[in-house]
Structure 1
Amino acid sequence: MLYYLFQYLDQLDFPGAGMFKYISFRSGLALILSLFISTIIGKRIIDKLQYLQIGEIIRDLGLEGQMSKKGTPTMGGIIIIIAIIIPCLLVGKLENIYMILMLVTTLWLGTLGFLDDYIKVFKKDKEGLHGKFKIIGQVGLGLIVGLTLYLSPNVVIRENVLIKDANNQEVVGYMPENIKSTQTTIPFLKNNNFDYADLVSFMGDHAQTAGWIIFVLVTIFIVTAVSNGANLTDGLDGLATGSSAIIGVTLGILAYLSGHIAYASYLNIMYIPGTEELVVFASAFIGATIGFLWYNAYPAQVFMGDTGSLTLGGIIAVFAIIIHKELLIPILCGIFLVEELSVMIQVAYFRFTKRKYGEGKRIFKMTPLHHHFQKPGNAGIIALIQKPFRPVPESKIVVRFWIIGIILAVITIVTLKMR
């Protein structure tokens, strides 16, 4: 809204109004606004949650310090959502299709997570929203995002190609026209564009249409997987929040590079017009998560609940898909991936051993993986991996996971040049 006001004032030669034309200025403003909202206004929301006695329901899992968290205000993801939405509405270009998709994603999954938390807290049902309804909501969002990217005429790329210059040296050039494409960036390979349509090249003239169908299915899968991964990671104070902030910084950098033709050319990646506006959204996202971390860091004064964790995961997934970097998610979101895989492996192994030996066995002492480090080894838990034998303090687990997240973020950016 402020963007359009100052755009009008700039036409009237109002001093300083032209600053709103610059992504860097609006991104910085979005970061400051989101930090202010999540810290100052966030404190009032936390006090309100405490007054309404909206506290976390804790199951005794035998983890050190776990029961001390009982009654800590939950549904704090509302703070993150407000701190993202308001700055974007104020300083973002609201006609930008990518900004619209990100705002829809935030509200959609925020509502889904809110319903889950509401049932847990107010209906006293520890299971929350039934799993099938969560999946329907996630699949529905993936379908909306995938079809919008397919149908919108504003969603285009300019393909990067290697050409010979006057000295017969290979340089990066771009096709003369913007096109709609199912191409995406793959790491480590020199010819780094992969087209989903190539998977169905045998379909001839219909390959491109079939490629879009595959793209929509991939979008649905990624949105569901990453949002659930973030949800599983949200088990220790500050873990999901800090990890998401690190990922947000990386995605913001990738969006800026993809939306700037000179930088895209240097890195030999496709140029995606309009994605530079996502830097404003990324800045609001970073500010919201860091501001929330002020209260969510150990010992937490508030939990985000599914209202926050589902939203953070969905934002990350859709953002990566929009900038055609979804195949980098296994590296960038390695923490989420490992947490999710640990649960899947644990359940599969338990069922297999129970069917074969009549008694279920475990690989980890407890899942998701972060809880494995909280459990003492050889404490009556039959698990293949008993180390560490002494429980690791919660704050140390979180910081170590953050460090791993930073390393993965650096690797993600470096992969664009490592080929």
Structure 2
Amino acid sequence: MQETLRALLIQDMARALLLAAAAAVIVLLSGRAWIELLKRRNIRKRARNEGSDTMVSYGQITMGGVMIVVPVVFLTSLFNLIDRWSMLLPLAVMVGYAILGAVDDYFSLEVVPSSHYGLTERVKSALQWLIAIVASVVLDLPAPYGLGHSGMVFVPFVGQLDVGIYVIPIAGLIIWATVNAVNITDGVDGLSGWTLLVAFGAYGVIAFLNGDFTNLMALCFTLVGACAGYLWFNAHPAPVIMGDLGSMALGGALAVIALQSQQWLLLPIVGIVFVVEALSSFVQIWYYKYTRRTTGTPVRLLKMAPLHHHLRITGWSNPQITQRFVVITLASSMVAIALAMRA
């Protein structure tokens, strides 16, 4: 019996690695065409310099995340949906956030006259929450209407715990927070691509070690391959960035994978860089408003938020920021995998 299970796991891992390789090859072969198409359409971010706490200034070709999302949806639909309908949820969430991100990117383009840089924060946040809550309900509903997740979570050194109906608000918060944290991190060439690649790889290993989530493992490694292909074109100095289309879509996919694997407690460890980047922006804005209200003189803790902008201003180069943040992500992911083995 054990030999049979071992053989099946090896077979599933081989399939996952082949999907990763296929995704990487597809992105490598099609990436230049995507970039040329985006250039012809002048899909270029409008430069923004507000002198604010969260200033972003690109002028780069954006919406590059399409070269990741399309191959992943294509390969998963062909090879990872047969008797694996649970894969529809991460795909649907990824596509939903990709569409929302594309709309947000559209209203931040140089060629689109708009009084706002992208969607307003209120509208964007409301739509992000809508997708997150719908996904959370589907996750919890019993079959055939949902995935019957049942609110289980693995706790290191303890085992499985049931959070019951609270899984819906918890899952909604996790999806919304991850989408925004990954979105904030996408500001340095290669940074979001590399950290996402490592994060998906970590959850792929966790799914493999569990043995019951080989479908998630295949999806994770498909995403790893697609991110690897994208990074070929996103190397510094990058002609293209993934934009909100890519960062929101991949952040949503990562959150749903963590929830479906029942290892979402490990997500802040795997995504430690995303957590720190998001917190740096939140604390910067909060402290700025707090000091303005209490003293009349606003104070910034960082030269600019999020953290990668602060580091760049203090003298770190783009490659230094990316490489050091990736090293941190690799180390934290190894810790997360070790903890998953103790659940």
TM-score for the superposition, normalised by structure 2:
0.89
Amino acid at match of 2:316: V
What secondary structure, in the 3-state scheme, does the structure 1 residue paired with 2:188 have?
A: coil
Quick check: 1:26–1:91 contact (8 Å CA) kept in 2?
A: no
Counterpart check, 1:85 vs 2:52:
no
1:332 paired with 2:262, answer: no
User: Separation in 2 of the partners of 1:71 and 1:344?
Assistant: 25
Contact persistence 1:138–1:220 (CA under 8 A): no
- Out of 20, 42, 45, the residue aligned to residue 34 of structure 2 is 45
Could you tell me how far apart the structure 1 residues matched to 2:304 and 2:227 are? Answer: 27
Task: For 1:210-225, list aligned pairs within 5 A.
Answer: 211-212=164-165, 214-225=166-177
Gap runs ≥5 in structure 2: 1-7
Q: 2:151 maps to which residue?
A: 182
Q: State the alpha-carbon separation in 2 of the partners of residues 134 and 257 from structure 1.
A: 37
Within-5 A mapping of 1:279-318: 279-318=217-256
Of 10, 13, 16, the match for 1:27: 16
Identify the match of residue 412 of structure 1 among 330, 336, 340. 336
Task: State the Cα distance separating 1:417 from its structure 2 match.
Answer: 4.2
Contact 2:104–2:244, Cα closer than 8 Å, also in 1: yes
Partner of 1:195: 162
1:298, 1:395 within 8 Å by CA — same for their partners in 2?
yes
**Residue 326 (structure 2) aligns with:** 402
The answer to which structure, 1 or 2, has the higher relative contact order (CA under 8 A, 6+ apart) is 2
Kept in 2, the 8 Å contact 1:53–1:71? The answer is: no
Once residues 216 and 171 of structure 2 are traced to their aligned partners in structure 1, the CA distance between those partners, rounded to angstroms, is 18
Code of the aligned partner of 1:222:
I
Is the CA contact 2:263–2:340 (under 8 Å) kept in the aligned structure 1? no
Residue aligning to 1:361:
299
- Summarize deviations over 1:383-407 as a string: whole Å, max 9, x none: xxxxxxxx11111111100000101
Q: Which amino acid aligns with 2:184?
A: L
Report the Cα distance in structure 2 between the residues aligned to 1:356 and 1:142, rounded to whole angstroms.
35
State the partner residue of 2:4: none
What SS does structure 2 have at the residue aligned with 1:185? strand
Residues 62 and 243 in structure 2, CA contact (< 8 A), matched pair in contact too: yes
Q: Distance between the aligned counterparts of 2:225 and 2:76, measured in 1?
A: 12
What's 2:197 paired with?
245
Change (3 A) 1:86 1:292: same
Shift of the 127–150 alpha-carbon distance from structure 1 to 2, 3 Å rule, reads same
The structural deviation recorded for 1:192 is 2.8
Q: 1:182 to 1:351 in 2, by over 3 A?
A: same
Stretches of structure 1 lacking an aligned partner (at least 5 in a row): 1-18, 157-178, 197-210, 261-272, 377-390
Higher gyration radius (CA): 1
Name the stretch that deviates more: 134-143 or 232-241.
134-143
Pairwise CA RMSD of aligned residues? Answer: 2.3
1:320 aligns with 2:258: yes
Counterpart residue identity of residue 240, structure 1: S
How many pairs are equivalent? Answer: 329
> Is the partner of 2:312 in helix, strand or coil?
coil
Aligned residue for 1:346, secondary structure, equals: helix
Q: 1:120 aligns with which of 87, 99, 108?
A: 108
Whether the 8 Å contact between 1:142 and 1:216 is mirrored in structure 2 is no
CA distance in 1, matches of 2:72, 2:37: 20
- Kindly provide the amino acid, as one letter, of the partner of residue 191 in structure 1: V
After superposition, the C-alpha distances for 1:28-56 in whole angstroms (9 at most, x for unaligned) are 22112211221111110101111222112
Structure 2 counterpart of 1:282, one-letter code:
C
Shift of 1:251: 0.8
Q: Is the 8 A contact 1:245 1:290 kept in 2?
A: yes
Q: 1:55 aligns with which of 44, 49, 61?
A: 44
- Kindly state the Cα deviation for residue 89 of structure 1 after the two structures are TM-superposed: 1.6
2:86 and 2:32 map into 1 onto residues whose CA distance is 31
The aligned residue for residue 233 of structure 1 is 185
Identity %: 29
Asked whether the 8 Å contact 1:231–1:313 carries over to 2, the reply is: yes
Query: In the superposition, relative to structure 1, how do residues 241 and 124 fare at CA in structure 2: closer, same or farther (>3 Å)?
Result: farther
Higher helix share: 2
* Cα distance change of structure 1 residues 180 and 373 upon mapping to structure 2, 3 Å threshold: closer
Q: Decide whether aligned partners of structure 1 residues 364 and 241 sit closer, same or farther in structure 2, where only a CA change above 3 A counts.
A: same
Distance 2:339 2:217 in 1: 20
Aligned to 2:61: 73
Contact 2:98-2:245 at 8 Å conserved across structures: yes
